[in-house]
Amino acid sequence: MLAMWSRRLFVGAAAALAAGPVHAAKTGSDKPAVLGGKPVRTESFPSWPLVEKNDEKLLLETLRSRLWNRRNGRNTESFEKAWATKIGAGHAVATNGGTTALYAGLAALDIGPKDEVIVPPYTFIATVNAVLQHHALPVFVDTDFQTHQIDPSKIEAAITKNTRVILPVHIAGSAADMDAILAIGKKHGIPVLEDACQAHLGEWRGRKLGTLGAAGCFSFQASKNLNCGEGGCLVTNDRDLAVRASAFQNNGNPLHGDGKNRGYGSNLRMTEFQASVLHAQMERLDEQAARRSANAAYLDGLLADVAGVTPARRYEGCTRSAYHLYMLRYEPEAFGGMSKARFMEAVKAEGIPLSGGYHPLNHDDFLEKAFQTRAFRAVYSSGEMAKWRERNVTPVNDRLCGEAFWFGQTTLLGERSDMEQIAEAFHKIHRFAGEIGRG
């Protein structure tokens, strides 16, 4: 049954891509559900992850082999080769998470105390935690309001003599402006480490995200488009960097070494179980990616008719988005000044799953808690931290966080009619905005 559903995904995606002009969603006069009306949708969107016979087969084969660790198994090494080939990278180093892939990447770039790493404030906490784990300072560069990505026009102003890495995040699976970012990195001799944790099969000018900078990092956590519950991978075209990252994730030991040339490292190894699931899940990655792209394009067209709801713009160089998230923002003025909380309540009441997006990461309490630890106090003076706080100003991102929201990738695995229901829900809320806002 699941295999049949997966095939329907592929057929449906192809049909959606070739369907021609977009038709407007229904705009009936029913009251919104939040005001006592009937919700647009009562069915669930597709669940995640999908489990099919190939998942069971490969997982059981690994179980029965009793070769569960990557040092004596073969699944992880073969997955590394398959993933590198899939995205056009020279080398891949599997880890037990996307965070640890970033951690290993920064270690391979020799990042440590007193170093600064440029990061966006509109991202998941893991991006910054990987920097903090090396006792380096995350330096936040404001967001481009239209794309929700790091604003490349503001990166150079953030560079100091201590800047060692630029770490853009391809948030939601859409590309940051890699032309501009790579040019800045080259000009200043600063490597670019791509956080592609949400960007499986995403592209910049036809090249897969994660393969453009010094290295790129992916996550295979349970919510991701390619997942094994927990897992990650670093990819690079630099053999020496790959060797360093591989050794770091194996307690400082080169994986095929004799143990005599150990260095500093940690145990970040992927298990054979994780790798077997990834092999199976990867068999339908292309079909699912096509489905998301088709539905996202259709939804883009439908939402063009909804005043005050704007999908995140993608840079011209973003030739393919992974659509791990479908990002949007709403304009309070177009909804009679309705609060974001009330807007989201009304959308969810229509049966449409919705997340409020990220909070301003650079203002999160976890940063100050990290800076107050004994290790950070030993490395950075109070004067240095005061200067950091003065630089930590991101007004555009602060505004974006008050207006942004998103749908998860499983929403885009549905049918065209599902996209029409999403648009219909927004139409209803817009028409009754005044009444909803008073509720």
For range 176-181, the mean pLDDT: 98
DSSP code for 216: E
- For 37, 131, 145, 192, 370, the CA distances from 136, given in Å and listed in that order, are 53, 6, 27, 16, 11
Confidence of residue 303 (pLDDT cuts 50, 70, 90): very high
Range name among 1-10, 157-166, 352-361, 402-411 with the lowest pLDDT average: 1-10
Averaged confidence pLDDT in the chain? 93
Residues 55-79 have pLDDT tens digits of 999 999 999 999 999 888 999 999 9
Domains of the chain: 2-51+284-357+400-438 (3.90.1150.10), 64-282 (3.40.640.10)
Q: In DSSP terms, which residues pair with 234 in a beta bridge?
A: 93, 217
Long-range contacts of 391-396 (CB under 8 A, 24+ apart): 391/139, 391/158, 392/140, 392/362, 392/363, 393/142, 394/121, 394/140, 394/141, 394/142, 394/143, 394/360, 394/362, 395/142, 396/142, 396/143, 396/144, 396/145, 396/151
CA separation, residue 129 to residues 27, 136, 158, 368, 370 (Å): 45, 10, 20, 13, 9
Conformation bin of residue 349: beta by default, left when phi > 0, alpha when psi is -120 to 50: alpha
User: Could you tell me how far CA 184 lies from the centroid of its own chain?
Assistant: 23
User: If pLDDT is split at 50, 70 and 90, which confidence band does 428 have?
Assistant: very high
Token pair belonging to 103: 């951690």
Distance CA 298, CA 17 (A): 8
The share of the chain scoring above pLDDT 70, in percent, equals 92
> Please, which pLDDT band fits residue 22 given cuts at 50, 70 and 90?
very low
Secondary structure class of 340 (helix, strand, coil): helix
- Mean pLDDT over 245-254 rounds to 93
What average pLDDT does range 241-267 have in this prediction? Answer: 85
CB atoms within 10 A of CB 205: 13
> Cα(346)–Cα(40) distance, rounded to whole angstroms?
11
pLDDT value, residue 262: 77
Question: Is residue 237 very low, low, confident or very high in pLDDT (cuts 50, 70, 90)?
Answer: very high
pLDDT of 14 above 50 = no
| pLDDT of 315 above 60 | yes
**pLDDT of 7 above 90:** no
Contact assessment for residue 281 and residue 226, using Cβ atoms and an 8 Å cutoff: yes
Phi, psi of 236, deg, nearest 5: -165, 160
